[in-house]
Structure formats: structure tokens, C-alpha cells
Amino acid sequence: MSQPIQALNILGGPAPVAQPAPVANTPQDDTIHEVVIVGSGPAGYTAAIYTARADMKPIVIAGALDAGGALMTTTDVENFPGFPEGIQGPELMTNLQEQAERFGAEVIYEDAVDLQLAGEVKRVTLDDGTVYQAKSLIITTGSAYRKLGIDGEETLSGKGVSWCATCDGFFFKDQEIVVVGGGDSAVEEATFLTRFGKSVTLVHRRDALRASKIMARRAEADPKLSFVWNSEVVSINGADKVESVTLRDTVTGQERVLPTNAVFEAIGHLPRTDLLRGKLELDDEGYIVCTGRSTHTSVPGVFAAGDVVDHTYRQAITAAGTGCQAALDAERWLADTAAGIDVEDAVAHTVAQ
Ligand code: NAP
């Protein structure tokens, strides 16, 4: 087996390819900025474009390893409006970043490790110790791949276990591939992997796909794709590369071993809200709760946009749209509070629009 060359980052996803040169940070930044944006996917950079154009001089905490977000590990993006021939994910993200920088956004390639949201001045601490202070925050931290949490998953990650078909599919040319999941992601990944694999087996824990009808029909008609229903993967086996998975029938409880060279997990995502637990309102699944159709979180002056809020649509264009909303909400919030309007009234002003 060819070794997948991409190391996995802390999110369990593949580390992105080349990043622009890091901007040197000062150890301490005493300025109280108008806005700091935490996260750098389509939502973060769109918020940066809008706040920069409003002369709010945004700071974007882009992340040390995963700047640009999930699209940095995608190839063709064919459904982002404005690109009739499609565009590569990394190129789209570089364009968005450059567009934000053109209007004065400052992009910092470090991870936020602590967020203090209470009070008028919010504080964002980075892993190099720098603290940024701001009157408003926009959280666009996106989501990470959900993991199965089974034996062999961590030890064999990068050795046949992957969360990204477009990144790693190529390494399994003419080999046996298992995909786990039953939603649109699993079906899309499985269909894509039939380009490479000798066979692709989609293992789903129920007897019906959650995926949209059109994608399911396409997958069911694919001769290289087969389905194992009512089965969960209980372990991924192999010494230094994936050799098989152990499956348990969810109806009979019977276990069996299925030989395979690769396991692609596509079982959904988890919002990246660990730094926010106990600091603002999250829903049962950990997504940030916003007020009405606005991007106001439960903490005045803190806004959220993109996949960290969105259970449902999770598209680059919807993330970009909510990034724009967050910028407009933050701009109005700052103008209202600067004009002496009471905090509650300033929230109500935006939410009522
Ligand atoms: P999803 O719709 O939440 O589906 C997750 C799948 O993984 C479900 O089938 C679920 O099984 C299964 N699953 C979850 N936890 C599991 C576990 N521990 N063990 C085994 N299986 C598990 O997630 P998604 O497929 O990533 O899609 C997310 C959103 O993005 C959806 O709105 C989707 O439509 C959208 N999307 C769209 C496209 C497209 O249009 N091209 C592509 C990808 C995603 P159950 O069904 O039993 O719950």
C-alpha cells in the first residue's frame, strides 16, 4: 500500500497543503480592536472582507495548521456561484483571504487556545501566548470530522484510515475500500472512490440511506459500489496498515471480518466549540445558538457564523452568507454601543431587522 502522505491534524482531518508564510506576531498586542474573527473558512474570510470594508480593521485568527478550513482539502468546487468552470478549493480560499487582506484584514496563522467573552472587552489568547483584545468577536471555527471511536482508528489513521476521499483516495488505486456512513457525505465519498478502488463497500448501520434520493440512486446504480446494511464497524484491524474491519450485524449481533485496505469515515461532523463550552449557549449537539435569524450569540458582542452554527445546509456559500451577516451585525452593534445605546437595545435593534 502506498502510504498516504498527508499527516492528520488535531481535528482528525488531513493537514492542509502549503500555507502562506506566517505573519510575525508581537508577544502582546495592547490595542483594543473593533473586531477579532476566530476561524478562516468561507464564513471567517467573508466576515473579514465585510468588516475590513467597513474600516473595522479585522484581525483574523486563521489557525496554525488548518487555515482556510475544510475547502483547503477539497479539489473541484463546482457549486460556488461565480465560477462557471468550477474552482479548486484551496484557490477559492486563497482568493477570499487575499480579498480580505486587500481591504486591510490582518491574518494571523496561530490557534486560539482561550476565549474570554464576558465584559465589554473580549480576549483571545493564541498558542504562542499573544492576547488580542476586541470590542466584538465573530466565531467561525467550523466543524471537525466525527470519529467512530473504535479500536484501530487512531493507530491506523494515515495508514489506511482517512476522513477525506479527495485527499487520500488516490493512494488506494486498485485496492479494496470501505466507506462508513449513510448520509450524503458517505455516498459522495464512496462514489468518488470508485475511480480508484478495485471495489468500494459502503457500510451503514441501518437498512436505508439518509442521503438524498438522487445521490442514493446514483450510488446504487454504480457497479463498483456495494452496500453492507445493518452493520457497524467495531474495530479496524492491521499491524502497521489497515488489513480488515470487524463488522457487527445490528440486527443479529453476529460479527464477521471483512478484508480491506482502507477505511474512509464519513459519519458527519462535530462543531468546533470546545473553547466555548460554559461561555455561551450551545445546543445539545454543541452548535452555537444564535438569536432569531441574526448571528448574535447569547453573549452580547459575540457573533457566530458558518458550520459552527449550521446543522443543516453546511455549504461554502451558506457559510459565506452568514459570515456577511455576522459582519453587518457586528458593525451595527458597535455603532449602537458607541452611540450609547443600551446593550439589550443594541441586540434587539439588530435582531429585529
Ligand atoms: P449526516 O447527514 O449527519 O449523515 C451521517 C451519517 O453517518 C448517517 O447516515 C448516520 O447514520 C451515520 N453515522 C453517524 N454516526 C455514526 C456512528 N457512530 N457509526 C456509524 N454511522 C454513523 O452527515 P453528512 O453525510 O456529513 O451530511 C451533512 C450535511 O451536509 C447534510 O445536510 C448533507 O445533505 C450535506 N452534504 C451535501 C452534499 C451534497 O449535496 N453534495 C455532500 C455532503 C454533505 P444514521 O443515518 O443511522 O443516523
161-162 and 302-304 as β-strands: parallel, antiparallel, unpaired? Answer: unpaired
Taking the model in full, what pTM does it have? 0.77
295 lies in some domain: yes
Active site residue 167: yes
Catalytic residue flag (residue 207): no
In this prediction, residue 167 carries a pLDDT of 78
pLDDT above 60 (res 27): no
Domain count, the chain: 2
The verdict on 258 and 318 lying in the same domain is: no
273 and 326 share one domain: yes
Closest ligand 1 atom number to CA of residue 269: 26
Question: Given 66, 111, 168, 307, which residue is catalytic?
Answer: 168
Pocket test of ligand 1: the residue of 147, 210, 232, 287 to mutate, having most ligand atoms within 8 Å of its CB, is 210
Burial 268-297 (b: 16+ CB within 10 A, else e): bbbbbbebbeebbebeeeebbebeeebbbb
C-alpha dist (Å) from residue 330 to 23, 105, 131, 338 = 25, 15, 20, 12
Ligand 1, residue 232: give the atom nearest the CA. Answer: 20
Domain, as residue range, for 205: 161-265
- DSSP element (H, E) containing 75: none
Do 136 and 200 have their domain in common? no
> Within this chain, do residues 36 and 136 fall inside the same structural domain, yes or no?
yes
The per-residue pLDDT for range 224-257, each reduced to its tens digit, is: 999 999 999 999 999 999 999 999 999 999 999 9
Whether 150 is in a domain gets the answer no
Could you say which of 220, 241, 265 is where a domain stops?
265
Candidate from 146, 166, 184 with most ligand 1 atoms within 8 A of CB, to mutate: 184
Selecting among 164, 290, 310, 336, the annotated active-site residue is: 164
| Ligand 1 geometric centre to CA of 193 (Å) | 17
Whose alpha carbon is nearest atom 19 of ligand 1?
Answer: 148
**Ligand 1: residue whose CA is nearest its atom 2:** 183
Quickly state the pLDDT bin for 353 (edges 50, 70, 90).
Answer: low
Checking DSSP bridges between strand 122-126 and strand 112-116, what pairing results, if any?
Answer: antiparallel
What residue's CA is closest to ligand 1, atom 38?
A: 184
Q: Give the domain CATH number at 215.
A: 3.50.50.60
Q: What is the mean pLDDT of residues 312-325?
A: 93
Q: So what's the pLDDT on residue 341?
A: 85
Cα–Cα distance for residue pair 350/353, rounded to 1 Å: 6
- What is the pLDDT confidence band of residue 340, given thresholds at 50, 70 and 90? confident
pLDDT at 35: 98
Ligand 1 centroid to Cα of residue 13, in Å, is 16
Task: Kindly indicate the confidence band of residue 8, based on its pLDDT and cuts at 50, 70 and 90.
Answer: very low
Ligand 1 center to 117 CA (angstroms): 32
What is residue 21's predicted lDDT score, i.e. its pLDDT? 46
Residue 74 lies in a domain: yes
Of 265, 285, 306, the last residue of a domain is 265
Which residue lies with its CA nearest to atom 4 of ligand 1? 183
Contact 127, 293 (CB under 8 A): no
Q: Same structural domain for residues 56 and 199?
A: no
Q: What is the 11 CA–ligand 1 centroid distance (Å)?
A: 18
**What pLDDT sits at residue 14?**
40
Using pLDDT thresholds of 50, 70 and 90, give the confidence band for residue 304: very high
139 and 62 co-located in one domain? yes
- Give the burial class of 153: count Cβ atoms within 10 A of its Cβ; 0-12 exposed, 13-18 middle, 19 or more buried: middle
Q: Report yes or no on 131 lying in a domain.
A: yes
Residues 160/259, Cβ–Cβ less than 8 Å: no
Which of 185, 235, 315 to mutate to test ligand 1, by most ligand atoms within 8 A of the CB atom?
185
- Residue 121, pLDDT above cutoff 90: yes
Higher-pLDDT residue of 134 and 73 is 134
pLDDT score of 306 more than 70 = yes
Q: Is residue 152 part of a domain?
A: no
Q: What are phi and psi of 311, to 5 degrees?
A: -75, -30
Whether residue 58 is found in the same domain as residue 101: yes
Pairing of strands 244-249, 231-237: antiparallel
pLDDT over 80 (residue 284): yes
Measured from the CA of 149, which atom of ligand 1 is nearest?
Answer: 18
In this model, does residue 20 exceed pLDDT 50?
no
Residues 209 and 316 in one domain: no
In the numeric block, which cell numbers belong to residue 86? Answer: 468550477
pLDDT at 349: 74
Domain co-membership, 232 together with 309: no
Distance CA 11, CA 39 (A): 14
Catalytic residue, candidates 29, 30, 55, 167: 167
Residue 3 has pLDDT above 90, yes or no: no
pLDDT-derived band at 291, boundaries 50, 70, 90: very high
Q: Is residue 1 part of a domain?
A: no
**For residue 142, is pLDDT > 80?**
yes
**Ligand 1 centre from 209 Cα, in Å?**
9
- Altogether, the residues listed in the chain come to a count of 353
210 shares a domain with 278: no
Q: Using CA positions, which residue lies closest to atom 16 of ligand 1? A: 267
User: Do 172 and 320 have their domain in common?
Assistant: no
Same domain for 289 and 261: no
Q: Which of 265, 292, 319 is the last residue of a domain?
A: 265
Residues sharing a CB contact under 8 Å with residue 38, sequence separation 6 or more, in sequence order: 44, 61, 112, 115, 124, 137, 138, 139, 140, 141
pLDDT-derived band at 4 (thresholds 50, 70, 90) equals very low
CA–centroid distance, 219 to ligand 1, in Å, is 15
- CA of 258 from ligand 1 middle (Å) equals 23
Atom in ligand 1 nearest the alpha carbon of residue 182: 9
| C-alpha–C-alpha distance, residues 301 and 334, integer Å | 8
Q: List beta partners, residue 259.
A: 244
Mean pLDDT of 328-337: 95
Q: Which residues line ligand 1 (CB under 6 A)?
A: 146, 148, 180-186, 188, 205-206, 210, 232, 267-269, 312, 314
- How far, in Å, CA of 69 to CA of 143, rounded? 9
